[in-house]
Structure 1
C-alpha cells in the first residue's frame, strides 16, 4: 500500500468519531427524556457503555491478533465462520451503510429547510421534495468525486469536518454543566411521571430497556478503523483509534443526555421537537443556539456521509477478492480506490434518493430494517474473538472480552425484536443470489459445507413468515 492512501492515527480516530456522531446525537435529549427518568438513564448508559467498550476492545484485540486481515467486519467473520457467514456480514453491513447514508442526506436537507422554508413556501420540507432530491443527488456525486480522488484525501476532509462538528457539542456540554441544577435532575428521579393510564408499566427496568433500545443505533460506526485497516500507517493505530473514538463518543453521549435533564425538567424536554439539543441550547443562550445546532447538524451528517461512503466502498472490494462479490469490484483506479465498488454504492444511493422523493415517509421503515442488519455482523465480531481465544489458548482477558461482547451483541439482537429481524431476512435473500453468482464466476462452482447448507435452509424457512409479515404489514 503506497503512502498516497495511508491514514494516520488522528484521521482514523476522526473517522470512528464521525461515523458514530451523525444526526442521532442532536435528538438524544428528547429521545431519552421521553422514555426514562434520571435513575434509569444512568443505569441504561452504564450497561450500554460497558457493552460498547468491550465491543470496541474486541476490534482492537482482533486487529492485534490478526494484523494480516483487512476490512474488519467482513474478514473477521469469514476467518471465523467461513465464506457464507463472511458474505452475510459483508452484505448486511454494506446494505446498512448504503441505505443509512441516504438518511444522512435527507436529514441534512431537512435541516437546511429550517433556514429556507416558511409556512407559505416549502423548498426542502422533510428532505423528500424535488429540490431536496436534486441537492442530495449533487452532494452524493460530489462525495463520489472526492472519494475517487483518494482515500487519504477523503479522510483528511473528514478530519477537518469532525473538528467543526465536535466543537459545538463541547460548547453545549460546557454550557449545560454551567446551567446544571441538581434539584432539576433529581426532580423526576424514578421517572414516575411516565406512567399513564394507557401505559401503566413505567418501572425502572422498562425504562432502562427503552433507553438501551435508543442507544442500539447511535454507536454504529465503531468498526470504522477496522474496515479501513489496510490504509492505516500503523496496524497498532487501528486498535488505538477504535478505543479513543469510542471513549470520546460515549463521554459526549452520556454528558449531553444527563446534563440536559439537569437544565430543564424531563417532561419539558420530552415534549420538544427535534433536534431537541437546539431547544435546550436556546433555553440557555437564546435564539442563536438553535442556529448553531442546526449548522452543526448539517456539517455532522454530511461528514458522516463521507466516512460511511468510505466504508461502503471498501467492504464489497474486499469481498470481491474472495469471490463473494463480482470481480469488477476488485480493480483500483490510479488513486488506489476501488472505483467499481464506489460507483455501485453511489448508484444505489441515487436509487434510494429517487425512492425517497417518490414515496416520502416509507423510507423510515426501510432505514430501521436495514439498520437491524448490522446486529449480526457485530455479534460475529465478539463470537470470533471468543472462538480465537480458545483456539489459541489465549490469556483470560481475551476470553472475557470476547464473552462480554458476544453476550451484549446477543442482547441487542433480542432487543431489536423479531419484526425487523424477519424483515431483514428479505434483504438477505437477494444477497444470496449475488453470492451464488459471484461464487460461480470466481470458483466455477458453488462451494458449501454442511454448516453453510444448514444456514441457507434456515434462511429459506424464515423467508416464509418474513414474506407473510411483509404482505400483511
Structure 2
C-alpha cells in the first residue's frame, strides 16, 4: 500500500524488460560466483581443518538451502511483491524495517563491490608491486576509473547488461571447474589426512566453524538474485526455479574448491597465501601457469559479479522509491529501463567505501565481513516474513496458508540467519548500525514528500535502537575497542 498523492507521484517508467529462466539463473550464479570463491582456501585454512570445513559447509549449505526454499515459496505465495528481500521485510514488519532492509541490502552490495576491485588490484599487484594488496593510492585510482566506466556501460540498458552477464557467467565458471579437476589430479591423500583435524588451531571445533560463517555468507550472497529481479521475469514460477538451480550449482562448486585445496598443501601454508589464494594453491600443484590462469579467470569472474551486483542494488533502491519508502528521485528510470539516479547513488557509495579501505589493516577481509554483516538483517526479515504468513491466515497469500513443510523451512531459515548474526560478532553489528542510522535521512525525505508523520511510536523505538547502536559503534571506533 502506498501513500503518495497521485498528482505528485514519481514519473512513469517504461515496461520492465523480460528475462528467461536461463538468464535469471545466470543472474543468481553470476551474483554468487565472484571474488569470494577465489579467496576461500585461505579463509578456511586460517580458521579450521578438513573436519571443521566439512561441518561448516554442511551448516552453510543446509542453512542457505532453507533460504533458497524461502525465496522460492515467497515468489509463488506472494507474487504481488517485487524486489524480494526488501518487499518481504516491508510486508511483514512495516515500512521502517522494510526501509532498513532495502538500505542494508543495497549497502551490502556496494561494500561487496569494493571487494571486487580490491581483489582485482591485489591480483595484478603480484606483478605490479605499486598496487600492493589492492589498497594503495594507485590501486584506488585505477579501481575508481573502472567503477565509473561500468556506470556508463550499465546506464545503456538492463537487457544489454544482462546479456553481458550471461556470457561472463559461463566464461568465469570454466577456470573454477578446471581448478577443481586439476586439484583432484594432483590430490595428495597424505596431505589431506594431515589437514584433517586442525589440531594446531586454538579454540573448540565450534569456534573454528563459527569463524568460517561470514565467509560462507559472503560467497552465497546473491542467492536472492532472481527474486530481486522478479519484475523482469517472463514467468513468475521461473523466479523460484532459478533460485534453486543457481544455489545447487554454486554450492557444489564452492565446497569442492575448499575441500580439494586441503589435498594440495599443508593448511598452515594455505593460510599464508596471498589473495586470491586459489591461484597460490594451483601454482603449488602445476607451476606458474596455474597462478596466471586463475588470476585471469578471477578478473573475468569479478567483473561479471560486479556487473550483476550493481544491477541488483540499483533495482532495490528503484523499487523502494516506487513504493514511497525512498525519495521519489530514486524512482526514475531512463528510456532503457535503467534507474539512473539509483545507479548514481550505488556508484557513489561504492566509491566512498573504496577510499575508506585505504585506512583498513586488511581491506579485502574487512569489506568481505562487513558485506556479510549488512546482508544479515534483510535475510533475517525475509525469513521471518515467511514464518508469519505460514503461521496465520493471510488473504494475500496465494493458495491460502502455506504448508507445514514451508513453515518448518521458514523457521529453520530464521534460526540459521539468527545464528549468523551471532557469528558475525559485536564488531560488525556495531559497524552496521553506523551505516543504518544515518540512512534514516532518506526515510525522512520520503515521508516529508508524502506529508506524513515522520515516525509512528513503534518506528520511533526502532530509530532509537539504531541511533544508540551507531553512537556505541562510533565511540568504540574512536576508543580503539573495534577497528577497521
Give the TM-score normalised by the residue count of structure 1: 0.91
Size of the aligned set, in residue pairs, is 460
Pair 1:380–1:133, CA change in 2 (3 A): same
Q: Secondary structure at the match of 1:333?
A: coil
Deviation of the 1:360 alpha carbon: 6.5
Please list the CA deviations of residues 37-65 of structure 1 after superposition, one character each: whole Å capped at 9, or x if unmatched: 22222111111110011111111111111
Secondary structure class of the residue paired with 2:80: coil
CA shift at 1:220, angstroms?
Answer: 1.4
Q: CA contact under 8 A between 2:115 and 2:367: conserved in structure 1?
A: no
- Contact 1:98–1:312 under 8 Å retained in 2: yes
Matched with 1:311 is 312
The one of 476, 479, 482 equivalent to 1:469 is: 476
Contact kept, 8 Å, 2:89 with 2:381, in 1: the verdict is yes
Q: Which secondary structure state, in structure 1, belongs to the residue aligned with residue 270 of structure 2?
A: helix
Q: Residues 363 and 225 of structure 1: is their aligned pair in 2 closer, same or farther, counting only changes over 3 Å?
A: same
- Alpha-carbon distance, 1:418 to partner: 1.5
Aligned-residue offset at 1:356: 4.7
- 2: CA distance, partners of 1:126 / 1:221: 25
Task: Give CA deviations for 1:49-100 in whole Å, capped at 9, x if unaligned.
Answer: 1001111111111111111211011111111111001000011111111122
Pairing partner for 2:421 from 403, 413, 430: 413
Please say if 1:237 is aligned against 2:238. Answer: yes
Q: How far apart, CA to CA, are the structure 2 residues paired with 1:344 and 1:93?
A: 14
Runs of 5+ unmatched residues, structure 2: 1-12, 394-400
Checking the alignment, whether the CA contact within 8 Å between 2:52 and 2:197 is kept in structure 1 is yes
Which of 76, 90, 98 is matched with 2:110 structurally?
Answer: 98
Post-superposition CA distance 1:133-177 (Å, at most 9, x none): 443233222221222111121011011111111101111111222
Paired with 1:166 and 1:16, the residues of 2 have a C-alpha distance of 13
Could you tell me which residue of structure 1 aligns to residue 167 of structure 2?
Answer: 160
Map 1:443-454 → 2, pairs under 5 A: 443-446=450-453, 448-454=455-461
Contact 1:101 1:308 in 2 (8 A): yes
In 2: Cα distance, 1:132 partner to 1:464 partner: 32
Seen in structure 2, the aligned counterparts of structure 1 residues 33 and 370 have a Cα distance that, compared at 3 Å, is closer
SS at match of 2:262: helix
Where does 1:224-373 land on structure 2 (aligned, <5 Å)?
A: 224-356=225-357, 359=359, 361=361, 365=366, 368-373=369-374
SS of structure 1 residue aligned to 2:194: coil
- The answer (yes or no) to whether the contact 2:35–2:115 under 8 Å persists in 1 is no
2:412 to 399, 404, 414: 404
> The residue matched to 1:263 in structure 2 has which SS?
coil
CA distance in 2, matches of 1:31, 1:307: 24
| Aligned mate of 1:430, from 438, 443, 452 | 438
Aligned-partner Cα distance in 2 for 1:434–1:456? 13
Kindly state the Cα deviation for residue 273 of structure 1 after the two structures are TM-superposed: 2.6
Q: Determine the structure 1 residue equivalent to 2:148.
A: 141
Indicate if the aligned counterparts of 2:180 and 2:256 stay in contact, CA closer than 8 A.
Answer: yes
TM-score, structure 2 length as denominator? 0.89
Provide Cα deviations, 1:199-229, integer angstroms capped at 9, x if missing partner: 4x3x322322223343232211111111111
Within 1, Cα distance between the matches of 2:368 and 2:311? 19
Provide runs of 4+ in structure 1 moved above 4 Å: 1-4, 354-357, 359-367
CA contact 1:436–1:446 (8 Å) conserved in 2: no
- Within a 5 Å distance, the mapping from 1:209-224 to structure 2 comes to 209-224=210-225
Residues 218 and 369 of structure 2 are in contact (CA less than 8 Å); yes or no, is this contact kept in structure 1?
Answer: no
Aligned counterpart in structure 2 of residue 440 of structure 1, from 448, 454, 462: 448
Q: How much has 1:260 moved relative to structure 2? A: 1.4
Deviation at 1:129, TM superposition (A): 4.0
The aligned counterpart of 1:6 is 18
SS at 1:5's partner residue? coil
Q: Superposed, which structure 2 residues align to 1:44-193 within 5 Å? A: 44-115=56-127, 117-118=128-129, 122=130, 124-193=131-200
Q: Distance in 2 between matches of 1:369 and 1:27?
A: 16
Contact 2:82/2:230, CA 8 A, preserved across alignment: yes
Please report the RMSD computed on the Cα atoms of aligned residues, expressed in angstroms: 2.1
Cα distance between partner residues in 1 of 2:115 and 2:50: 30
Q: Contact (CA 8 Å) 1:102, 1:349: kept in 2 or not?
A: yes
Partner of 2:396: none
Contact 2:27 2:166 in 1 (8 A): yes
SS of equivalent to 2:335:
coil
2:123 counterpart SS class? helix
Query: Quick check: 1:318–1:330 contact (8 Å CA) kept in 2?
Result: yes
CA change 1:328–1:286 in 2 (3 A) is same
SS in structure 2 at match of 1:271 = coil
SS in 2 for 1:262: coil
Does structure 2 conserve the Cα–Cα contact (< 8 Å) formed by 1:370 and 1:424? no
Aligned to 2:35: 23
